[in-house]
Amino acid sequence: MNDNMSATTERFYIEDAGKVFAKGVTNVTVKGWVHNKRSSGKIKFMVVRDGTGFMQGVLVKGECDDQSFEDFEKLTQETSLVVEGTLRQNPRNPLSFELGVKSIKIHQIADNYPISPKEHGIEFLMENRHLWVRSTKQHATLRIRAEIIKSIREFYDDRGFVLFDAPILTPSSCEGTSTLFKTPYFDTQAFLTQSGQLYGEVGAMAFGKVYVFGPTFRAEKSKTRKHLTEFWMVEPEVAWNDLDDNMKLGEEFVEYVVQSVVSRRAAELKTLERDLTKLAKVKAPFPRVSYDEALKILEKRGVGVPWGEDFGAPQETALGEEFEGMPVWMHRMPAQIKAFYFKHDAANPKLALGCDLIAPDGYGEIIGGGQREESYETLQKRVAEHGLNMTDYQWYLDMRKYGSVPHSGFGLGVERTVAWICGLDHVRETIPFPRMIHTLRP
Ligand code: 4AD
Ligand code: MG
């Protein structure tokens, strides 16, 4: 009987329900999993998910075949099945659809699915991450992550940036030696990349404007809600851009990503109970403060630090509060706390021409970048001052030897951006399989 019916029904994905219905197709097949079910006498309800969405199925005795009506009792959470029925508008909410079920065909009964709708501890959920990603909020978060990555690529591709892939196995550090993962490499040693920037600079000299996009690694011993040991970073790099150009690119970019998600993933943001009005206000230009100006704001707010120190979470949160929901640029930081490659400010050589973008509501730094030192002699001196091995960086120094130009770029951390846009309190939920100091499984 099922096979006969299949010939006249159309397989569809739940997210396409509106389009399919508008075409006048009503005999449909959904292939998916049981999310939950309930019965009230002669009528039974189930919610099916197929990966693209959730849909209620209604079973009424007489309208549904008898065997299916009986099989309903065997359904457990995450049982896989094929459902055939009539697609119709939900009488209680005409904007959504439901399925008048004619038959169900069980593919596999899921026995004791470990994640029930009741509350579970985070440790348990993290151990079951391979199953947890099916849950509503995790599903919405990862869908938004995919949309963010899509909009990142769109932004740069549409503006003529060339994708320039950097290696993951590298011979030297980019962001200091204290967070390097080492790995044996035949008869020598390699490091997992901390940032593709140095290679991005090579790309900028060859193509004018490029972006590097890939996973990066930091042996972060800190257990915070903002740190992963493996995270994704997108790193544009542009020849002839100075610090101001760099901030302008960064704010147009962040606005594009946020507004793309607001317009395309409103349903998922709603699932996460994210305040859309706050995100809708994120429009360039963003406020800019120098490190020195930021210090004054922090002192006023009671979280000042001595000049020359890096900001921690309390400082970043306070800066965010000052600018009410807007990301804020902090620029011109003390050179002593920045990496070797920064150009120093001609007006005050103690300052590096860096720019960090601090997200509102305590989400912290989502962009780090700046203008690069372009002088061969100065950069050579910096490599030495930072105790780095000159031969490892000779290729990088070559960029300053053969037609050096001013250039700038930055890196945006995908996971912190996802956490901010989704309103999550920890980056561990922003990537399918987070890697942290004590998390390597599954
Ligand atoms: O500020 P960072 O260290 O900058 C760089 O790596 C530059 N080389 C980028 C460039 O100019 N091309 O890192 C950039 C961003 C941070 O602002 C943050 O969003 C993210 O990468 N990030 C991390 N995200 C998660 N976990 C960590 N451990 C992170 N470290 C940095
Ligand atoms: Mg940084």
Does the pLDDT at position 418 exceed 90?
yes
State residue 380's pLDDT score. Answer: 97
Count the Cβ atoms, other than its own, within 10 Å of residue 305. Answer: 15
Residue 236: pLDDT above 80?
yes
Least confident range from 91-95, 155-159, 213-217: namely 91-95
User: Which residues make Cβ contacts (< 8 Å) with residue 338, sequence separation at least 6?
Assistant: 352, 354, 370
Buried b (16+ CB within 10 A) or exposed e, 355-374: bbbbbbebbbbbbbbbbbbe
How far apart are alpha carbons 239 and 55 in whole angstroms?
50
- With 90 as the cut, is the pLDDT of residue 400 above it? yes
Residue nearest to atom 31 of ligand 1 (CA): 413
- Position 4 scores a pLDDT of 44
CB of 192 closer than 8 Å to CB of 181: yes
| Cα–Cα distance measured from residue 311 to residue 301, given in angstroms and rounded to the nearest whole number | 14
DSSP state for residue 174 in the 8-state scheme: S
State yes or no: pLDDT of 283 exceeds 90: yes
Whether 263 has a pLDDT exceeding 70, the answer reads yes
Does the structure show a pLDDT above 50 at 2?
Answer: no
Tokens describing residue 108: 């596999």
Q: Dump strand ranges (E) for 315-435.
A: 328-334, 344-345, 348-359, 364-371, 407-413
Kindly state the tokens that stand for 380: 């050579």
Mean pLDDT in residue range 359-364:
94
The closest residue, in CA terms, to atom 9 on ligand 1 is 411
Rounded to whole angstroms, how far apart are CA atoms 381 and 375? 10
* CB atoms inside a 10 Å sphere around CB 5: 16
Helix (H, G, I), strand (E, B) or coil at 73: helix
- Rounded distance from Cα 47 to ligand 1 centre (Å): 41
CA distance 173 to 180: 7
Lowest mean per-residue pLDDT among 16-25, 206-215, 329-338: 16-25
Nearest C-alpha neighbor of 374 from the set 351, 353, 347: 353
Query: Could you tell me which of 84, 76, 71, 131 has the C-alpha nearest to residue 109?
Result: 76
Q: What is the pLDDT of residue 304?
A: 95
Q: Which of 233, 343, 407 to mutate to test the pocket of ligand 1 (most atoms within 8 A of CB)?
A: 233
Span of 170-179, 205-214, 272-281, 353-362 with lowest mean pLDDT:
170-179
Model confidence band, residue 42 (pLDDT cutoffs 50, 70, 90) = confident
Q: Over 90: is that where the pLDDT of 220 sits?
A: no
Closest CA to 397 of 247, 205, 223, 215: 205
Mean predicted confidence (pLDDT) in 168-173: 92
Q: Which atom of ligand 1 is nearest to the CA of 356?
A: 17
Identical fold at 3-108 and 129-429? no
Q: How close are the terminal C-alpha atoms of the chain, in Å?
A: 42
Tokens at 160, concatenated:
């003529």
User: Is residue 262's pLDDT more than 50?
Assistant: yes
Averaged pLDDT for residues 54-71: 95
Separation of CA 385 and ligand 2 centre (Å): 20
- At residue 278, the pLDDT reads 94
Asked whether the predicted pLDDT for residue 173 surpasses 90, the reply is no
Question: Which of 211, 217, 200 is closest to 154 using CA atoms?
Answer: 211
SS3 content of the chain, % helix, strand, coil (to 5): 35, 30, 35
Ligand nearest, relative to CA of residue 333: 2
Name all residues whose Cβ lies below 6 A of ligand 1: 174-175, 195, 197, 218, 220, 227-228, 231, 233, 235, 365-369, 409-411, 413, 415-416, 427
Cα–Cα distance measured from residue 28 to residue 82, given in angstroms and rounded to the nearest whole number: 10
Least confident of 134-148, 166-180, 208-222: 166-180
Mean pLDDT over each residue of the chain, to the nearest integer: 95
pLDDT band at 1 (very low <50, low <70, confident <90, very high): very low
Decide which of 434 and 118 is more confident: 434
pLDDT in tens, 3-25: 444 457 899 999 999 999 999 98
Give yes or no for a cis peptide into 314 (omega within 30° of 0).
no
For residue 59, the model assigns a pLDDT of: 97
Q: Which residues pair with 356 in a beta bridge?
A: 330, 368
35 sits in which H/E element: strand 27-40
Q: List Cα–Cα distances, 296 to 215, 318, 332, in angstroms.
A: 36, 12, 14
Looking at domain 129-429, which CATH architecture does it have?
A: 2-Layer Sandwich (3.30)
- pLDDT tens across 244-255, in order? 999 999 999 999
User: Which residue matches tokens 């199925």?
Assistant: 57
Please tell me the distance between residue 356's alpha carbon and the centre of ligand 2 in angstroms.
7
From the CA of 356, how far away is ligand 1's center (Å)? 10
Return left, alpha or beta for 112; rule: phi > 0 is left, psi -120 to 50 is alpha, else beta. left
Mean pLDDT (whole number) for 155-168: 98
Of 91-95, 160-164, 275-279, 389-393, give the lowest mean pLDDT range: 91-95
Question: What is the distance between the alpha carbons of residues 64 and 102, in angstroms, rounded to a whole number?
Answer: 4
Ligand 2 center to 122 CA (angstroms): 28
Q: At residue 151, does pLDDT exceed 70?
A: yes
- Interior angle at CA 294, CA 288 and CA 298, nearest 5: 140
Q: Which residue matches tokens 């951006």?
A: 417
Who contacts 240 (Cβ-Cβ below 8 Å, separation ≥6)? Answer: 208, 405, 406, 407
How far is residue 369's CA from residue 196's CA, in Å, rounded to a whole number? 12
Q: Which fold has domain 3-108?
A: OB fold (Dihydrolipoamide Acetyltransferase, E2P) (2.40.50)
Which residues lie below 8 Å from residue 371, measured CB to CB, with a gap of 6+? 241, 242, 243, 246, 342, 343, 353, 406, 407, 408
Structure tokens at 239: 């020849």
Q: Whose CA is nearest to atom 22 of ligand 1?
A: 413
The preferred substitution site among 231, 412, 417, 420 for testing ligand 1, maximizing ligand atoms within 8 Å of CB, is: 231
**Residue 367 CA: which ligand 1 atom is closest?**
17
Instruction: Please tell me the predicted confidence (pLDDT) of residue 3.
Output: 45
| Structural domain spans, the chain | 3-108, 129-429
| Contact between 421 and 262 (Cβ < 8 Å) | no
